[in-house]
Amino acid sequence: MANKRFMLRVACYLLLIKEDKILLLRRFNTGWEDGKYTLISGHLDGDETVKQAMIRETKEEEGINLNPENLHVVHTMHRKSNNNFEYIDFFLIADKWKGQPKIMESDKCDDMRWFPLKNLPGNTLPYIKQAIENYFNKVSFSESGFE
């Protein structure tokens, strides 16, 4: 019997920043970490680049448009989630975007607002806080959840 090859999940996250504030949304009705704040995010669907996935997810979740040339990967994280899946997470920043963010998936998100970068809500997912801190400290790679 052949051994099954280990597989990682891949997700992308958007750090949307303006005037020293970052856009966060609160998970709702998803069955995982509901009530906690996170970034605009999503899984790669396959046969798409990280930037293409980020553009798609941002349009689906917040209704704003991004161009690939305005997206930059600023941090990568190898993470073990609390449900024991392992992820490679790509954190991107957008220089520019078109449109005003609004909740497009009210069945998965019940709040979205701009928070001061130096005062994130206490119920922000810990690895999201870590990634934001790493971005500002110019740390390009980190690991989380392997304690």
61-115 pLDDT tens trace: 999 999 999 999 999 999 998 878 999 999 999 999 999 999 999 999 999 999 9
Contacts 24+ apart (CB under 8 A), 95-101: 95/70, 95/71, 96/67, 96/70, 97/16, 97/58, 97/64, 97/65, 97/66, 97/70, 98/64, 98/65, 98/66, 99/63, 99/64, 99/65, 100/63, 100/64, 101/16, 101/23, 101/62, 101/63, 101/64
Name the residue range of residue 127's domain.
Answer: 9-144
Answer yes or no: is 2 within a domain: no
4 inside domain: no
In a domain, 62, yes or no: yes
pLDDT band at 28 (very low <50, low <70, confident <90, very high): very high
With a cut of 60, say whether residue 1 has pLDDT above it: no
Model pLDDT for residues 2-14, shown as the tens digit of each residue: 688 888 999 999 9
77 within domain boundaries: yes
In this structure, is residue 100 part of a structural domain?
A: yes
Is position 15 within any domain? yes
Number of structural domains found in the chain: 1
Q: Tell me the whole-structure pTM to 2 decimals.
A: 0.94
